[in-house]
Chain A
Amino acid sequence: GENVEQHPSTLSVQEGDSAVIKCTYSDSASNYFPWYKQELGKRPQLIIDIRSNVGEKKDQRIAVTLNKTAKHFSLHITETQPEDSAVYFCAASPDTGRRALTFGSGTRLQVQP
């Protein structure tokens, strides 16, 4: 089955700096890669996703890059703000069949004001 590894486990940045979180996956059949933000005690919220036919996607301060050959993808947050502080999870799945997501281990991002 799929195995998703995520680094770093914790990340502390100053407000206004950029943050980068990296993930690798193992199953070449995976072609859908979402990123979720989870605040304490709440459900994960989708912040951006990318499919394997695209190398990069951007939405305001958030961008995701995908290298399907190397099986890794990254989340980039620019101009970080204190409200970006949360736990971020990457995930991977095929977009056919069962479509269950396999999650990375999570990154706790702390943005210092």
Chain B
Amino acid sequence: GAVVSQHPSWVICKSGTSVKIECRSLDFQATTMFWYRQFPKQSLMLMATSNEGSKATYEQGVEKDKFLINHASLTLSTLTVTSAHPEDSSFYICSVPPGLAVNTGELFFGEGSRLTVL
């Protein structure tokens, strides 16, 4: 499958600081990337859709001013958690849908980033 690289794999920060997570599609260009969040022992919940060349689309209940998404290029999307608080501690994982040339619905996931806010 396609390779999606996510960095950092884990980060610990102090409450009130901001943290940036990068997601790179290494095998093909991606005009769309998805950001999911997974709390301990829970499912993956879609936070937002990152769109190259336009604003991200946020799911209901996700604060766009807190979770800043920038689709900087066709291979890079970043998620910045601003003014992080302990309740933002979670596993954040990006995913890339296949290009139109690929006849599969499979999403390709990054390795995930575990954020711990002290």
Which residues of chain A have a CB within 8 Å of any CB of chain B? Answer: 32, 34, 41-44, 46, 49, 51, 89, 93, 95, 98-106
**CA–CA, A106 to B93, complex, Å?**
16
CB atoms of B111 and A49 under 8 A apart: no
CB atoms of B43 and A105 under 8 A apart: yes
CB atoms of A89 and B43 under 8 A apart: yes
Q: How many whole Å from A79's CB to the nearest CB in chain B? A: 25
**CA–CA, A99 to B105, complex, Å?**
7
Residue from A32, A49, A100, A106 having most chain B Cβ neighbours under 10 A: A100
Q: Answer whether residue B109 sits at the interface, using C-beta atoms and an 8 A cutoff.
A: yes
Residue from A34, A99, A102, A106 having most chain B Cβ neighbours under 10 A: A99
Chain B binding surface SS class: loop
Contact A44 to B49, CB < 8 A, known contacts A93-B105, A95-B105, A98-B32: no
A102: chain B residues at CB < 8 Å are: 46
CB atoms of B105 and A34 under 8 A apart: yes
**CA–CA, A32 to B45, complex, Å?**
18
Q: Which chain B residues numbered 85 to 118 have a C-beta less than 8 Å away from chain A?
A: 91, 93, 95, 97, 104-107, 109-112, 114
Contact A34 to B46, CB < 8 A, known contacts A99-B97, A100-B34: no
CB atoms of A99 and B43 under 8 A apart: no
A95: chain B residues at CB < 8 Å are: 105
B104: chain A residues at CB < 8 Å are: 49
Q: How many whole Å from B69's CB to the nearest CB in chain A? A: 14
Contact A46 to B49, CB < 8 A, known contacts A104-B43, A105-B43, A106-B42: no
